[in-house]
């Protein structure tokens, strides 16, 4: 089968499309014929081996996973013995952060991993783009117990996580102020944001409105800068480790005292419940992933380069099965 392979940590040029053996499924695993995958920030981190902490999970000196690709949508090609929830021919989607492998024509995944049948009302492209960022957004929103009536500022309303967060928060009934650049203000309003701040015209940390939560979805702020925006007891959330990797440490230390806090939840692995939540949100129309560009598998290095500009809007797709 055709796959995007790398054998060392390094730049996008190290990812080469080659012919490799199809994965062999073991008990309780499913073989998926991948139609669409994405290149996301997790793929970039595990490809480059930066930040270094990722090497504790993926191999200290060289990567264990030679084929990256976490998010996928496709069709079940085969099931191993013991599989009870999926059948050959099912359209499925999910993310495979345990093993990766979706930048290939076929991928193996455990039946109990982050895998579900696709909602009937979405395309392979929408399904592939829907899972990982909405998972991270949901983990933060649920951990902070954000609900109807809360006022939330989302920094980076155009990113994959930010655009999912804006929609999920609106679905919960929160009031959302989102921050993005001039060019994307209409897009973010269209996602449901009640108010949009253009970061090229205004420093959002100087905003006069007070918020119950500040959710930085692009890692472009810090707790110290955002603290004045928070109401007493307000919470700062971030999808990023933050300056000097301080966010996880601040999440521990601010718990010891009263007042404003940082939360940095560690997302659970193998989260089938997350994919099912995403499926429900897509079926009910409360969440549709934002799609930026599409690249064929052969041009995956170009996709990596684009994602690493930090300027993608929502999600970047890899078409494994060419669309006619």
Ligand X SMILES: NC(=O)c1ccc[n+]([C@@H]2O[C@H](COP(=O)([O-])OP(=O)(O)OC[C@H]3O[C@@H](n4cnc5c(N)ncnc54)[C@H](OP(=O)(O)O)[C@@H]3O)[C@@H](O)[C@H]2O)c1
Q: What percent of the residues of the chain are helix, what percent strand, and what percent coil, each to the nearest 5?
A: 30, 25, 40
169 counts as binding ligand X under rule CB under 6 A: no
Please give the backbone phi and psi of residue 103, each rounded to the nearest 5 degrees, phi first: -85, 55
Distance between CA atoms of residues 282 and 207, nearest Å:
33
- Binding test (CB under 6 A) with ligand X, winner from 66, 117, 158, 277: 158
Cβ proximity to ligand X, 15 vs 218, nearer residue: 218
226 counts as binding ligand X under rule CB under 6 A: no
Site for ligand X in 37-96 (CB under 6 A): 40-42
- Binding test (CB under 6 A) with ligand X, winner from 58, 78, 199, 294: 199
Q: Which stretch binds ligand X (CB under 6 A): 80-88, 205-213, 294-302, 309-317?
A: 309-317
Q: Which stretch binds ligand X (CB under 6 A): 16-24, 35-43, 52-60, 255-263?
A: 35-43
- Binding test (CB under 6 A) with ligand X, winner from 70, 96, 155, 278: 155
Closest contact distance (angstroms) between CB of 213 and ligand X is: 16
- Binding test (CB under 6 A) with ligand X, winner from 133, 191, 318, 320: 133
How far is the CA of 216 from the CAs of 241, 263, 305, 312, in angstroms?
11, 11, 23, 16
Cβ proximity to ligand X, 77 vs 308, nearer residue: 308
Asked if residue 167 lies in contact with residue 286, where contact means CB atoms within 8 angstroms, the answer is yes
Q: Which stretch binds ligand X (CB under 6 A): 8-16, 69-77, 146-154, 306-314?
A: 306-314
Cβ proximity to ligand X, 184 vs 263, nearer residue: 184
220 counts as binding ligand X under rule CB under 6 A: yes
Q: Which stretch binds ligand X (CB under 6 A): 144-152, 167-175, 213-221, 228-236?
A: 213-221
**In terms of Cα–Cα distance, which of 35, 40, 42, 31 is closest to 122?**
35
Q: Which stretch binds ligand X (CB under 6 A): 106-114, 178-186, 229-237, 242-250?
A: 178-186
Helices 160-172 + 132-143 axis angle, to 10: 50
How far is the CA of 211 from the CAs of 151, 167, 248, 291, 304, in angstroms?
5, 18, 21, 29, 35
Closest contact distance (angstroms) between CB of 218 and ligand X is: 4
**Cβ contacts of 82 within 8 Å, gap of 6 or more:** 27, 28, 111
Distance between CA atoms of residues 166 and 217, nearest Å:
10
Distance between CA atoms of residues 196 and 121, nearest Å:
30
- Binding test (CB under 6 A) with ligand X, winner from 22, 77, 143, 240: 240
**In terms of Cα–Cα distance, which of 236, 41, 209 is closest to 155?**
236
198 counts as binding ligand X under rule CB under 6 A: no
Which stretches of the chain bind ligand X, using CB under 6 A?
A: 40-42, 133, 136, 155-156, 158-162, 179-181, 184, 199, 217-220, 239-240, 310-313
């Amino acid at each position: 089968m055709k796959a995007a392979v790398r054998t060392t940590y390094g730049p996008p040029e190290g990812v080469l499309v080659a012919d490799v053996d199809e994965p062999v499924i073991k008990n309780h695993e499913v073989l998926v014929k991948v139609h669409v995958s994405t290149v996301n920030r997790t793929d970039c981190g595990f490809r480059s081996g930066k930040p270094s902490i990722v090497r504790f999970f993926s191999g200290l000196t060289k990567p264990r996973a030679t084929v990256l690709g976490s998010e996928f949508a496709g069709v079940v090609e085969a099931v191993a013995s013991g599989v009870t929830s999926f059948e050959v021919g099912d359209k499925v989607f999910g993310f495979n952060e345990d093993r990766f492998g979706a930048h290939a024509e076929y991928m193996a995944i455990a039946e109990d991993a982050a895998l579900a049948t696709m909602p009937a009302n979405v395309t392979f492209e929408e399904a592939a783009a829907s899972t990982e960022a909405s998972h991270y957004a949901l983990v933060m929103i649920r951990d902070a117990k954000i609900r109807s009536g809360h006022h939330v500022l989302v920094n980076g309303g155009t990113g994959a996580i930010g655009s999912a967060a804006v929609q999920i928060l609106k679905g919960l009934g929160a009031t959302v102020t989102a921050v993005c650049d001039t060019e994307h203000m209409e897009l973010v309003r269209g996602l449901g944001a009640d108010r949009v701040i253009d970061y090229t015209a205004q420093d959002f940390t100087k905003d006069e409105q007070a918020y119950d939560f500040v959710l930085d979805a692009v890692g472009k702020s810090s707790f110290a800068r955002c603290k004045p925006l928070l109401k007493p007891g307000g919470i700062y959330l971030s999808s990023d480790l933050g300056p000097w990797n301080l966010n996880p440490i601040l999440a521990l230390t601010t718990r010891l005292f009263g007042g404003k806090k940082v939360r940095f939840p560690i997302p659970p692995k193998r989260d089938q419940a997350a994919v099912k939540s995403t499926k429900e949100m897509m079926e009910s129309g409360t969440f549709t992933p934002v799609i930026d560009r599409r690249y064929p598998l052969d041009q995956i290095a170009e996709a990596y380069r684009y994602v690493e500009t930090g300027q993608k809007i929502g999600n970047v797709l890899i078409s494994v099965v060419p669309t006619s």
